[in-house]
Structure 1
Amino acid sequence: MWTLDELVDRVGRALAAEYAGAPNGRVRDVPDRRAIRWYRTIGLIDRPLGMSGRTALYGPRHLLQLVAVKRRQAAGLSIAQIQAELTGAGDETLAAIARVPADLLVADGPEPDPVARPRFWAARPAVATQVGPPVGPGAPAQMGPAAAAQVGPGAAAQVGPVERDVDSVAGAVRLGGGAILVLPGVPTEADRDAISVAAAPLLALLADRGLIETAENGRLP
């Protein structure tokens, strides 16, 4: 089995021999980590086989799926057409399209963690306990000392959205489709891989409800 970086490397090696490249500049010749996560979200590749510690692991079927997607893109097919053809396709179909050399399909590496990961997204959230003065229509605005000093006594508090550069936030994790998770801590690359795996059902739900970018709007990697 392979890590995500090892999978990307094998995809590049599989395409190197006979790949005309993408038909336009909008599509990467070889998918990067972000593109692979997106393909997983929209069902073009399966979820990882499992985890080794905090590292997601992939196998030969993932390699066949990715190479088949890139070969179809090189032939000029759209993502929607590729989804219709390859989503849920069997290994024989994928192998015929991908034409991956046999030596690249030999899986190796660490075994996945057999312990099932908890479905935290299915758990009901705890009811928050209100602390402090009541909040509601007609209640006075609550301001910290710093804000009060800037506004001044008797002035009305101005509340509005604060625009921030997401990439400058250390704990921000882009999940795909425009969805962003902001954490109090700073995630490692392994943390980001594990978060991506766990967030797949949530992204699928958001896509179904039209709350994130999807294949139809053409903003895919």
Structure 2
Amino acid sequence: MWTLDELLERVSAALTAEYSGAPNGRVRDVPDRRAVRWYATTGLVDRPSAMRGRTALYEKRHLLQLVAVKRLQSEGRALAEIQTELAGATDQTLAAIARVPEELLESGDPAPPEAVRPRFWAEPAAAPAAAPPPAQAVALNGVALGGGAVLLVPGTPTAADCADLAAAARPLLDLLAARGLLTNERES
């Protein structure tokens, strides 16, 4: 397996023999990184075989495809025509068109082991957990703390409860006022 840069080095080496280059100045003699990505996006060349982190890895078939594309382009053929011809081509067909020297086809690296992902969709669904009882509606009452702040409490507080809650909330109200989060000055 090769990185994209290693693949492009092999493409360049393969094209040094029997390659007249593109017939017009609009096509590069050797594809660059961007062209290879575009070819993979459009389906002209297979997508990378594997990934090592964020690095795409390519194999012999990619080399054959890229060299075959360049050789056909050198004959003046358009990419759409080449794509139609090479769609579903076997490695033998690609090798006949590409004529890549054997030493360039050898890869010293074995394919990296595929990370096995669990197939969650193929396993039976777990029994649903017992649903909690539906929540009871609770009436909330607001206790004005000053400055527009209101504390919601379940139940009905007495006047003494409201006074105690307001006193306990003074540090919070001071913080809210300091940060400009209250609508008006706190009442003393």
**Do both proteins adopt the same fold according to a TM-score greater than 0.5, normalized to the shorter chain?**
yes
Residues 110 and 91 of structure 1: CA distance in aligned 2, closer, same or farther (over 3 Å): closer
Residues 58 and 117 of structure 1: CA distance in aligned 2, closer, same or farther (over 3 Å): farther
Return the offset for 1:108: 2.2
Aligned to 1:193: none
Identity in percent? 69
* Inter-partner Cα distance in structure 1 for 2:13 and 2:72: 17
- Check conservation: 1:50, 1:113, Cα contact below 8 A: no
* Inter-partner Cα distance in structure 2 for 1:103 and 1:91: 16
- Check conservation: 1:49, 1:112, Cα contact below 8 A: no
Q: Secondary structure at the match of 1:19?
A: coil
Larger Rg: 2
- Check conservation: 1:52, 1:113, Cα contact below 8 A: no
Return the offset for 1:110: 5.8
Aligned positions of 1:163-174 closer than 5 A:
none
Q: Secondary structure at the match of 1:51?
A: strand
Aligned positions of 1:61-210 closer than 5 A:
61-109=61-109, 111-115=111-115
Aligned to 2:40: 40
Q: Deviations over 1:167-200 (max 9, x none)?
A: xxxxxxxxxxxxxxxxxxxxxxxxxxxxxxxxxx
Q: Secondary structure at the match of 2:63?
A: helix
Residues 116 and 62 of structure 1: CA distance in aligned 2, closer, same or farther (over 3 Å): farther
- Aligned residue type for 1:54: R
Aligned-residue Cα RMSD (Å) equals 1.7
* Inter-partner Cα distance in structure 1 for 2:75 and 2:99: 14
Tell me the TM-score normalized by structure 1.
Answer: 0.51
- Aligned residue type for 1:81: E
Q: Secondary structure at the match of 2:56?
A: strand
Return the offset for 1:87: 1.6
Structure 1, unaligned runs of 5 or more: 119-221
Return the offset for 1:112: 2.7
Tell me the TM-score normalized by structure 2.
Answer: 0.60
Return the offset for 1:3: 0.3
Q: Which has the higher contact order (CA 8 A, sep 6+)?
A: 1
